[in-house]
C-alpha cells in the first residue's frame, strides 16, 4: 500500500504531469492529422 500513499502525497505533481502529457499528446495528434490531410489533398490534386 506504499504506492497509494506516494500518489496521495504527490497527487498534484501526478495531475500536472498527466495534464501536460494530455496536452502534448493532443498537440502531436493535431499536427499529424494536419500533415496527413495535406498529403491527402496533394494526392487528390495530382489525379
Residue closest to 35 by CA, chosen among 14, 46, 6, 43: 43
Which range of residues forms the domain containing residue 9? 2-46
What pLDDT, on the 0 to 100 scale, is given for residue 12? 94
What pLDDT, on the 0 to 100 scale, is given for residue 42? 77
Taking 70 as the threshold, does the pLDDT of residue 46 lie above it? Answer: no
Average pLDDT over residues 6-22: 92
Residue 26's pLDDT band, with cuts at 50, 70 and 90, is very high
Instruction: Characterize 29-40 residue by residue with b for buried, 16 or more Cβ atoms within 10 angstroms of its Cβ, and e for exposed.
Output: eeeeeeeeeeee
What pLDDT, on the 0 to 100 scale, is given for residue 36? 85
How large is the C-alpha radius of gyration of the chain? 20
Asked if residues 7 and 14 have their Cβ atoms less than 8 Å apart, the reply is yes
In the chain, the number of structural domains is 1
pLDDT > 90 in the chain, percent: 49
**Distance between CA atoms of residues 21 and 7, nearest Å:** 17
Amino acid at each position: 500500500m506504499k504506492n497509494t500513499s506516494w500518489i496521495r502525497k504527490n497527487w498534484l505533481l501526478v495531475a500536472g504531469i498527466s495534464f501536460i502529457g494530455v496536452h502534448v499528446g493532443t498537440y502531436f495528434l493535431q499536427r499529424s492529422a494536419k500533415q496527413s490531410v495535406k498529403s491527402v489533398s496533394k494526392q487528390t490534386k495530382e489525379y
